[in-house]
């Protein structure tokens, strides 16, 4: 994780960075559990990961990425980030559905781990390129929108 530019001091980036740390650590727990063939533990970790990942993706997709589209040097990269989220969502939603319907032995863990490898790189690009660029390019309204999106998403999550 980057620590050179101070962008983590900006509320929404700080929140996203803390979530990145949780996501990376939890993906590691899943990977290690799969590696030792403890699929029940892998399933528990994946289940723990999903609500954080959903909240995180909501903030990025509804606030951060749309603001990034307005920055010429970032516009093309945003489409890639959305595509990577879509790919991860598809694989992880399928894994959770399979887990619920058939249990941990039926989950395509190799596919889950492949998506985790992609997400590792995705997070690295955000932390070491996109977030520092956003810190420079975003206006106050962009940060306020991100905070509002997070607040709404958190409120909806507690209602469920």
In a domain, 95, yes or no: yes
Mean pLDDT in residue range 28-53: 98
Interhelix angle 11-35/140-159, rounded to 10 degrees, is 50
Mean pLDDT in residue range 46-63: 96
DSSP for 4-69, please give it.
Answer: SS-GGGSHHHHHHHHHHHHHHHHHHHHHHHHHTT-HHHHHHHHHHHHHHHHHHHHHIIIIIHHHHH
In sequence order, the 6+-apart residues with CB closer than 8 A to the CB of 26 are 45, 48, 49, 52
In a domain, 1, yes or no: no
- Which of 2-6, 73-77, 111-115, 156-160 bottoms out in mean pLDDT, i.e. has the lowest? 2-6
In a domain, 2, yes or no: no
In a domain, 152, yes or no: yes
Is 60 exceeded by the pLDDT of residue 75? yes
- Which of 9-23, 73-87, 111-125 bottoms out in mean pLDDT, i.e. has the lowest? 9-23
Label residue 52 by pLDDT band (50, 70, 90): very high
- Both tokens assigned to 24: 């990376």
| pTM over cut 0.95 | no
In a domain, 4, yes or no: no
* pLDDT value of residue 41: 98
* pLDDT value of residue 86: 96
Query: Domain limits at 99?
Result: 9-159
3-state SS class at 103: coil
3-state SS class at 1: coil
**Count of structural domains, the chain:** 1
* pLDDT value of residue 6: 55
In a domain, 42, yes or no: yes
In a domain, 149, yes or no: yes
* pLDDT value of residue 3: 54
Mean pLDDT in residue range 36-54: 97
In a domain, 91, yes or no: yes
Label residue 61 by pLDDT band (50, 70, 90): very high
Label residue 129 by pLDDT band (50, 70, 90): confident
CATH number of the domain within which 105 lies: 1.20.120.520
* pLDDT value of residue 136: 83
């Amino acid at each position: 994780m980057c620590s050179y530019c101070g962008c983590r001091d900006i509320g929404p980036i700080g929140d996203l960075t803390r979530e990145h740390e949780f996501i990376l650590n939890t993906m590691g727990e899943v990977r290690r559990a799969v590696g030792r063939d403890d699929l029940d533990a892998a399933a528990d970790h994946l289940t723990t990961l999903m609500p954080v990942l959903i909240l995180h993706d909501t903030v990025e997709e509804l606030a951060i990425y749309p603001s990034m589209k307005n920055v010429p040097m970032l516009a093309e990269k945003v489409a890639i980030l959305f595509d990577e989220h879509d790919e991860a969502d598809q694989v992880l939603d399928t894994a959770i559905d399979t887990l619920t319907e058939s249990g941990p032995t039926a989950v395509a863990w190799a596919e889950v781990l492949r998506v985790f490898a992609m997400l590792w790189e995705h997070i690295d690009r955000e932390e070491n390129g996109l977030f520092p660029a956003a810190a420079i390019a975003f206006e106050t309204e962009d940060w306020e929108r991100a905070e509002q999106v997070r607040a709404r998403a958190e409120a909806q999550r507690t209602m469920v």
